[in-house]
Amino acid sequence: MSGKKLSFEQLLMNQSSLLINCDPRLFNPTWSKTSFEVLNWFNIDRLTLFPNSMVLLEEGKTASAARENIPPINKKNFLGKNHTDYLKLLKTSKPHLTFSTLELEKSQNVVLKQLYKEGGRWHCIIPLQLFGQRWGALSFTNFFDNSEGLNDEDLQRLKLVCEMWLCYWQHSTLFRSLKQSETSLVNDADKLLLLTKKQSTVLALIAQGLTAQQCADKLHLSSRTIESHKYRMLDLLELDNHSDLVQFALRNGLGMAEDTNSQPSAKAKGR
């Protein structure tokens, strides 16, 4: 392939540098920008990445990029149609599957036929693996006639790039998940300060599975008082139901054996 300004090694280094240094929260838009360099290097018109998913139409489960003047993936074109057969192709055990212009035109597969109607003239599917297990797939399409596609060496190179993408994709997803958990704990710490010592004690007992009457007997209170504390805590903690209340308590260390004797969290405020 002629006209390449970068060696494949330089392409990999560029991709790795841009993705590993980006804000994990901005991974998707960063990937969208970097993917155009790959499209141009391999002379591909459009590619779609299926990371950790065999779901073709589920929003957020696929990522696609297309060169200028090439129609982007329009999922509405596939809605209501049987695309199960295409999902089976994504799970192929072969190194790759390719489809020529004639094969796309004559295919009984609704997705391949739709690709032909959109102007696709050569299509390829490459299954991807991570840590020795199937993880997703890459598909790409060229829209110019008489396309010869990619040779085996470039297919291997493209597969390597996409598996690198998957590694960074998964890392960014994990990072965002951890940050969300940290935020939740920070918010919990603030909310704990709203509880009185008595409410913290009641909450610890509720988290152990005690009924309102059992809590009342243990604390020498009436069951009505326990219920009053419970609904007050739901309001203070902005929770919806008993289950949410229990989850909040367990998440913050309340409800353990040592809490039974009413030693509330040190963060709880006495009144």
Region 96-102: mean pLDDT is: 93
187 against 39, higher pLDDT: 39
User: Would you state the pLDDT for residue 90?
Assistant: 83
**Same-domain check for residues 23 and 130:** yes
pLDDT tens digits, 185-236: 556 767 888 889 899 999 999 988 889 999 999 999 999 999 999 999 998 8
**Same-domain check for residues 147 and 245:** no
pTM metric for this prediction: 0.60
**Same-domain check for residues 42 and 102:** yes
The SS3 call for residue 127 is strand
**Same-domain check for residues 237 and 115:** no
**Same-domain check for residues 108 and 162:** yes
The answer to whether position 66 is within a domain reads: yes
**Same-domain check for residues 27 and 106:** yes
pLDDT exceeds 50 at position 262:
no
User: Would you state the pLDDT for residue 57?
Assistant: 39
**Same-domain check for residues 96 and 63:** yes
Confidence at 263, pLDDT banded by 50, 70, 90: very low
**Same-domain check for residues 115 and 245:** no
pLDDT exceeds 50 at position 167:
yes
Instruction: Indicate which CATH number applies to the domain containing 224.
Output: 1.10.10.10
User: Would you state the pLDDT for residue 236?
Assistant: 87
- Boundary (domain end) residue, out of 179, 205, 227: 179
pLDDT tens digits, 113-154: 989 999 999 999 998 887 777 777 889 999 987 667 789 999
**Same-domain check for residues 151 and 197:** no
The burial of 19, by beta-carbon neighbours within 10 Å (0-12 exposed, 13-18 middle, 19 or more buried), is given as buried
Q: Residue 253 belongs to what domain range?
A: 193-259
Cβ-based neighbours of 262, under 8 Å, separated by 6 or more: 201, 204, 219
User: Would you state the pLDDT for residue 166?
Assistant: 81
**Same-domain check for residues 210 and 159:** no
**Same-domain check for residues 208 and 164:** no
- Boundary (domain end) residue, out of 144, 179, 214: 179
Structural domains counted in the chain: 2
The SS3 call for residue 240 is coil
% of residues, the chain, pLDDT over 70: 80
